[in-house]
Each structure stands twice: as structure tokens, then as C-alpha cells.
Amino acid sequence: MDNLATDHWYDFRDLANLSRVILEGIDKVAPYELAYIVAPIIGFVAAFVIFVLPSQLFVGVYGERRIIGRIQSRRGPNRVGPFGLLQPVADALKLLQKEALTPKVADRTLMWAAPVFFVAPAVLLFAVIPFGPRMVFADVPAGLIFFIAVSGLPVLAAFIAGWSSNNKYSLYGAMRIVAMSVSYEVPLVLMLLCVVVFTNTMSLPGIVWFQKDVDLWLIFMQPLAFVVYFIAVSAELNRTPTDIAEAESEIVAGYLTEYSGMKWGLFYGMDIGYALAASAFAATIFLGGWSMWGLEQWVPPWVIFIAKTHLFYMVFIWTRGTLPRLRIDQLMGFAWKFLLPLAVVNLFLVSLERLWWSESDLGGGIVFVIAAINVPVSAVAVYLWARFLGYKPERVPTRPRLAREAGGYVPLEEPVIGGGK
């Protein structure tokens, strides 16, 4: 593999150089073990300073509010600092000053512990994401399954939060989030299994290298997996249209109802953190990670990667601004009846394709053929399965009937079906 960047510390195309130089410097003046302690700290600080914190504040909070404001034909935050850019900071300061109330009947210990349990996995998630060719903090061989495992933990924290609040709305939120994540984990994992079967590796840098080597992103080779990933992950992250665990018009704020002050702030901030992690994961797996058809030779790969992550996050914002929310039974039915069969079919298809690829000696060019097969097959599969389950949008009227004169009941000329329950 060609090294894209040089090894000089000032080559900012690869920040791993910088950390290596720092570590070598420490190694000269300090005992060997110190480097082990410093390395994680450097990686952690770098990941947070360069990516997580600015993204959280300026994309997750500020950007989301500005874009949703634009969708809703209003301005969004525009008072604090230039263009309102300091609004997230002001919000955080406000939250710090607020009292974090704990209800008398709540389980105090658990209510205190829940935000902590919620924050910790978010930090872990970014450890396996490859920001650049050598910029991966922990190159776990089973990075993909690490991601699945760790992203299941905040659900438990949310459950603890909801249960310990001792509030009926919170309990509903807690039950809903657990039920949802258990259901959506199944198609999600099956679809990621498709990716693993196809790329033959479970390591996230390996998947990026795979996409770079064949010069095609997995989103084209596995369109169905991408769609299912997006839906399932937005369900797990509680983003509209699947935000039933926090559904503010139904159960006030779900498991967060009794939280206030910075405890709530941690949940809010880390919700964005998880959404960013999911976006980063999607950018890695489906959008080619830091690779960009040779552009990564000139632009720092981590800039490309962050741009892709933010692009994916924009889709989250977009859906949040436009779509209504589904009901819990509809969501569960969607996961089990719609996504799961599709995922199984896709897994079968991908296994066949992989077998074909390894048996034949066509080389890397075959992926274009596979992409050309998979895109229409996925679209047709989605359409046919939806039809089979009774989706008939054209039968639903979008305009009411009109009557000229007042009178009694006007009978229907033909029965109306479609849509709904």
C-alpha cells in the first residue's frame, strides 16, 4: 500500500505523524510505560478536539438548529456571537447553572448514574473509527462488532434513566427505547453481516481499504444495507421519524422527563455524540471512509472523512425537520415484517455474489457488475415486498370531497382503502 502522506511531523495530511513524534519525544525523556499512558490521552484529546467536540457543538447543536430553522422558515440561533455561533456555549453555561432536580420518589443513585453510563460508551465508540490511513486510535480486528456491542450500551443507560425517574412517562420512554433497540438491532446486525460477508473483513480500516482498492463505495454495492442501516440506526438513536422514546407530543420527553440541568445536558449532548458516531460509522462503512478516489492524496483524509460524516448527519437533520413520527406498533412491525425479510434476502444475495466473486477470476472490476445488479434488485425487492404487505399509496385521497349544498350524510361512491393501521 502506498503511503499517502510523508512521515514528517508537519505533514498534516496524517495527524498520526504528530502523535508519533510526540510519543518518540516522550520516550526519550521518560520511562517506557509512560508512552502507553500518554498515547491514549493524545488520541483521546485529538479525537475530541478535532472531531467530536466541534462537531457536537457546531454541527450537532448549532448546525442542526440553524438548518431546522431554515426548513421551518425561521432564523434559528443568531444572537450569541457572530451568526449565533456561540449559542451552544451559552446553552451549556445555562445548563450548568440550572439545578438538576431529582424527584423525591426517584431512585437517587441510579438517576445519578444513568447519565454517566450514557456518556461512557459514546467516548468508546470513536476509538475504532479510522480517521485516516493510519489515524485509527484502536485498530481492533473485530471493530465492526465492537461498534455494534458498544452502541447497544446507551440503551441500557436510557432504560435506567427512565426507570429510576419513577415517572410514568419516563417508564414508557424506557420500555419503548428498549423494545425498539432490541427490534432494530436484528436487521441492523444482519445488514452489517452482509457488509462483512462482502468485504471479507470485520476491521473498519480494512473495510475502507476494500472500498479504496475496488474504487467503489459500498453504498453502491450494498444499497439495501445502507437504507436499512439508516433506518435502524435512526431508530436506535431516537431520531425522528422514530423518536418514540422521547416523543414529546405523547410522553412529554420519555425517559428524560425528570431530568434537568447538566444531567439532561449530558443526555442531549451525547445523543448528538451517538448520532455523530453513527454517521462516522456510516461514512466509514458505506461512504468510503477517508478515501475519495485519489483526492485524499491532496486533501487531508481526515478532512474528507469529517466532511462525509457531517454530510450523513445532515440527512438526520433533514428527516427530523420533515417527517412525522410513527407509532410503536407500526415501528416494531416495520422492523420485523419489512426490514428483517429484506435483510435475510439481501444476506443470501450477497453471499451468492461473494461466492461468485471468489470462484471466478474476474478481479476487482466485478464490483461494478455487482453494483449494477444490486441497485435495481434492491429497489425491486423493496417495492415488491411493500406491495405484498399491502402498501397502496395511490388509493388514498389527498383532497376531500366537495359538496355544493348543506344536507345530511353524503354516501361514498366507492369504498376508500389504503394507508393507516
Partner 1 sequence: MEGAGVNIAFYVLSILTLVAAGGVMVSRNLLHAVLFLIVAFIGVAGFFVLLSAEFIAMAQIVIYVGAIAVLILFAIVLTPRSVRDNSETAMVGPAILLGVALATVFLFVIHDTGWMTGAGDPGLSASDLGRALLSTWVLPFEIASVLLTAALVGAIMLVRSEAEESEDVPDADA
Partner 2 sequence: MSEIVQSEPFVMNIGPQHPSTHGVFRVKATVDGERVIDAEMVIGYLHRSMEKLAEERTYTQNIPFTDRTDYLSSMSNNLGYCLAVEKLAGIEVPPRGQAIRVIMAELQRLASHCMGAGAFANDTGAWQTPIMWFMREREKILDIFEMTSGARLTCNYMRIGGVAFELPEGFEEEVRALIGPLRQTIADGEGLLSGNEIFLARARNVAVIPPDMAVNASLSGPMLRGSGVAWDIRKADPYCGYEQYDFDIPIGYQGDAYDRFIVRLEEMRQSLRIVEQALDGLPGGPHSTEVPLALRPPAGEAYARIESPRGELGYYLVSDEGPSPHRFHIRPPSLINLSVLKEMTVGGSIADAIVALGSIDIVVGEIDR
* Contact flag: residue 153 with partner 1 (CB under 8 A): yes
243 contact choice in partner 1, partner 2, none (CB below 5 to 8 Å, kind-dependent): partner 2
Cell 442531549, located at residue:
268
168 contact choice in partner 2, partner 1, none (CB below 5 to 8 Å, kind-dependent): partner 2
Least Å distance, CB 416 to partner 2, is 5
Judge whether 293 and 215 are in contact, CB under 8 Å: yes
Judge whether 132 and 305 are in contact, CB under 8 Å: yes
Burial of 383 (0-12, 13-18, 19+ CB in 10 A): exposed
| Binding piece for partner 1, criterion CB under 8 A, among 70-78, 81-89, 150-158, 356-364 | 150-158
Please enumerate in sequence order all residues whose Cβ is within 8 A of that of 389, keeping only pairs 6 or more positions apart, or say none: 337, 338
What are the CA-CA distances from residue 325 to residues 281, 312, 328 (Å)?
Answer: 25, 20, 9
Site string for partner 2, 326-345 (x = CB under 8 A): xxxxx---------------
What are the CA-CA distances from residue 43 to residues 9, 40, 138, 143, 222 (Å)?
Answer: 15, 5, 9, 17, 32
Q: Out of 47, 135, 160, 193, point to the residue binding partner 1 (CB under 8 A).
A: 160
CA distance 375 to 180: 28
| Binding piece for partner 1, criterion CB under 8 A, among 76-84, 151-159, 319-327, 404-412 | 151-159
Least Å distance, CB 100 to partner 2, is 20
**Pick 95 or 202: Cβ nearer partner 1:** 202
CA distance 113 to 98: 19
Site string for partner 1, 33-62 (x = CB under 8 A): x--x--------------------------
CA distance 203 to 200: 9
Site string for partner 2, 63-82 (x = CB under 8 A): -----x--xxxx--------
Nine-digit cell string for 114? 444513568
Least Å distance, CB 379 to partner 2, is 16
Distance of CA 341 to the CA centre of its chain: 22
Site string for partner 2, 141-180 (x = CB under 8 A): ---------------------------xx--x--x---x-
Q: Out of 247, 272, 306, 317, point to the residue binding partner 2 (CB under 8 A).
A: 247
Closest CA to 94 of 108, 80, 82: 80
DSSP 18-61: HHHHHHHHHHHHS-HHHHHHHHHHHHHHHIIIIIIHHIIIIIII
* Contact flag: residue 155 with partner 1 (CB under 8 A): yes
Residues that bind partner 2 (CB under 8 A): 68, 71-74, 168-169, 172, 175, 179, 240-241, 243-244, 247-252, 320-330, 391, 393, 396-412, 416, 418-421
Where does this chain bind partner 1 (CB under 8 A)?
Answer: 33, 36, 110, 140-142, 145-146, 148-150, 152-153, 155-156, 159-160, 163, 171, 174-175, 178, 182, 185, 189, 202
